[in-house]
Amino acid sequence: MTCIFCKIANGEISTELLYSDDKVAAFRDIRPQAPLHILVVPKAHVDSLWELDDPELAGALLHAVTVIARAEGLARGYRVIVNTGSDGGQEVPHLHLHLIGGTALGAMLPKH
């Protein structure tokens, strides 16, 4: 297993998990873009959202986001981003949801 997020999610690399269930794990992003920046990932390897064919896992990932957001007190709001593929700016080839918040977030898309 060479995938860094597989190793983190399955405990091969010691990282504080903010959330963990049988399918999903969450941990802090190493390069936070906001006061709170958490990555929510499947424990089983999926390359990206493009490859996600499991509606139950899709629901589990989104549900984990809600559980974490509530635990972190993000009642004022937050943003969930799933960079997908090269045009989407995905760097790490293991599906991950960015949960970003803790401040008022600005516009996120580049102007064309």
Sites of contact with ligand DGP (CB under 6 A): 4, 27-31, 39, 83, 89-92
Q: How far is the CB of 98 from ligand DGP (least distance, A)?
A: 6
**Between 39 and 46, whose beta carbon lies closer to ligand DGP?**
39
Q: How far is the CB of 53 from ligand DGP (least distance, A)?
A: 20
Q: Which of 37, 94, 96, 98 is catalytic?
A: 96
**Between 49 and 67, whose beta carbon lies closer to ligand DGP?**
49
DSSP structure string for 9-49? HTTSS----SEE-SSEEEEE-SS-SSSEEEEEEESS----G
Is 45 assigned a catalytic role? no
Question: For residues 104 and 102, what is the distance between their CA atoms, to the nearest angstrom?
Answer: 7
Question: For residues 28 and 16, what is the distance between their CA atoms, to the nearest angstrom?
Answer: 8
Question: For residues 56 and 59, what is the distance between their CA atoms, to the nearest angstrom?
Answer: 5
Task: For residue 81, give the amino acid letter.
Answer: I
**Between 75 and 110, whose beta carbon lies closer to ligand DGP?**
110
Q: How far is the CB of 28 from ligand DGP (least distance, A)?
A: 6
Q: Could you give the residue numbers annotated as active site?
A: 96
